């Protein structure tokens, strides 16, 4: 072997290997505009003791929860935000009318149940487009925590009667 036939050593630069570097990424292919509400969907959500049956239909963004508006049923703004989270995540706020039947539990549990129901119904409408966003935001995960049952001989699930020495 001659000096010219040797393989390039580590650190040597081969001009033919790389033609060009750029710090900018390739221009994205024309991103399709977010589709508007296209089809109706339905889903069930559960949280604590609450169960929500949700139906979404393309519309103007009107909410009906047990026959009442969103503000009337959930006066707390935090609960309104929780309920609306899946639509905001998909940038579909105001694109669907949401019809909900919810029972059991309290306001917090019902808000969580409605949120899961809305997310599942949006996932059912277009899984290919909506599922990755909803999954990444953690909106399709059921929170399995439920109240612990009361045990015999105790006042509550874990609270024991006060101990008296005499």
CA distance 56 to 100: 9
Q: Look at residue 6 and tell me whether its pLDDT is greater than 70.
A: no
Specify the number of domains making up the chain.
1
Q: What does the block give as tokens for 39?
A: 């089809």
Tokens 């959930």 — which residue? 74
pLDDT at 30: 44
CATH of the domain at 64: 3.30.230.10
Which letter does DSSP use for residue 150 in this model?
P
| 13-46 residue pLDDT tens | 555 655 666 666 555 544 445 555 678 889 999 9
CA distance 141 to 10: 49
Which letter does DSSP use for residue 158 in this model?
S
99-123 burial, b if ≥16 CB within 10 A, otherwise e?
A: bbebeebeebbbbbbbbbbbbbbbb
Is the residue at 124 inside a domain? yes
pTM over 0.95: no
Question: Residue 101's domain spans which residues?
Answer: 41-136
Is the residue at 71 inside a domain? yes
| 92-130 residue pLDDT tens | 888 899 999 999 999 999 999 999 999 999 999 888 998
Is the residue at 1 inside a domain? no
The CA radius of gyration of the chain, in Å to the nearest whole number, is 27
Strand partners, 17: none
Is the residue at 114 inside a domain? yes
pLDDT at 55: 95
């Amino acid at each position: 072997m001659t000096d010219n036939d040797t393989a390039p050593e580590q650190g040597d630069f081969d001009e033919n290997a790389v033609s060009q570097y750029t710090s900018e990424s390739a221009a994205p292919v024309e991103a399709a505009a977010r589709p508007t509400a296209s089809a109706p969907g339905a889903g069930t959500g559960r949280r604590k003791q609450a169960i929500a049956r949700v139906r979404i239909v393309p519309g103007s963004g009107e909410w009906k929860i047990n026959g009442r508006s969103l503000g009337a049923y959930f006066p707390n703004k935090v609960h309104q935000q929780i309920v609306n989270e899946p639509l905001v995540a998909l940038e579909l706020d105001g694109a669907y009318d949401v019809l909900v039947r919810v029972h059991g539990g309290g306001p917090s549990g019902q808000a969580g149940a409605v949120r899961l129901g809305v997310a599942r119904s949006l996932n059912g409408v277009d899984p290919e487009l909506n599922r990755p966003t909803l999954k990444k935001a953690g909106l399709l995960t059921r929170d399995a925590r439920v109240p612990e049952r009361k045990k015999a001989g105790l006042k509550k699930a874990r609270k024991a009667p006060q101990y008296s020495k005499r």
